Structure formats: C-alpha cells, structure tokens
Structure 1
Amino acid sequence: MTGEMIQIKPKEFLQKMYGNANSEYNFSIGWLEQFKARHEIKSYRRFGESGSVVMENIEDALPQIRAKWEKFYWKDIYHMDETYLFYRLQADHSLATKQLE
C-alpha cells in the first residue's frame, strides 16, 4: 500500500457520500502524515526472493539476450534502465502497521 492509495480512497468515499459538494477538500501530505501517525502506519521494507538469485545463471543468459538484440535495428531499441525489466515488480516498501513477510 502506498500513501497515494491512502489519499485517493477518502476522496472516492467523499464523492460517493456527498457528490461534488465537498470536492474542494484536500487530502494533503500533512493529512496523510497525521493519518499514518494516528493509525500507527509506518513504511516497512518488503523482503522477497532476491537473496535466491544465482548470478551465474544471469551471466549465462546474457549471450542469449544479446543475440535477440541483434535482430532489431538500433533505432527500435529504447533505453529504460531497470524500468524495462521490472515494470511489473511490486514496490520494495509498503505502508503497514507491522513488518510484512
């Protein structure tokens, strides 16, 4: 869960309950910080399977990846850093009331 998610939900509830009458109410960063303090919500780092990665397997796969690149023109290859590889990866931090597994 992220802070942005926590800020969006009250806006949705307010809209459902009162329509556009209270659209000027702003769930700011200050509101979010007070909400998190009131409900003892903190940012925790999530742990997963990152420790089980075998670097030798990655090094063995690099020639195959490079061979696939050779099929494309340079103008069709875009540099996106890690975004290309991890765009569906879950965030490594989450807001919660206790440490997550």
Structure 2
Amino acid sequence: MTGEMIQTKAKEFLKKMYGDANFEFNFSIGWLERFKARLEINSYRRFGESGLIVMENIEDALPQIRAKLENFDWRDIYNMDEKGLFYHLQAYYALATKQLEGRKKDKERHIVMVCCNDDG
C-alpha cells in the first residue's frame, strides 16, 4: 500500500460521508504523515520468501514428521541451512554531505552452510 492510495481512499470516504459538499480539505503530505504516525504505520522493506508459506500445510505435516523422527537418536537428526555471504556488497545507505553515485551491486559471494545436530 502506498501513501497515494491512502490519500485517495480518504478522499473517497470524505465524499461518501458528506456527499458533494464543497470541502476545501485536501489530504496533503503533512496530513498523511500525521495519519501514519497516529496509526503507527511504517515503511518496511520486503525480503525473504516467508510469504510463500502456507501454515495449514505445515501444521498438517508436523505429526507425520515427528513420527518419522522418533525412529532416530537426537545425535542423528541434523538441521542445515545455506546462506549467501556477499563480502563485496556495499551498504544501501550512507551518511554524506552530498548525493553519492550508485554502482551496480557486486554479486560475488561465498556460500556458507551451517549445520548442527539435534543434541547440540
């Protein structure tokens, strides 16, 4: 959702509530910022794949997974994950006295794999 969408919807609600009365009210950027502060609406960056997970599917599968894991000792159950380590990647933001020029992001990376068995 964008700020422009909030402003447009607010104008629609004003029109529905008061009809075509000649209101001089405009939903300015200042109004939008105060509205977002009152309702604690913040801007967040999207990342990851968590939106693809269907929790109902996981809850249905858990009993079957737990039953299979009961056949193994704790020391034989491992959890492993991999992560890309972008060691040349520059920060997205920087403090400066003037606008900094951007560059194409360096994609060079190492793949790090972390693994641990269930008993630590």
Normalising by structure 1, we get a TM-score of 0.44
More helix by share: 1
Q: Which has the larger radius of gyration?
A: 2
More strand by share: 2
Normalising by structure 2, we get a TM-score of 0.38
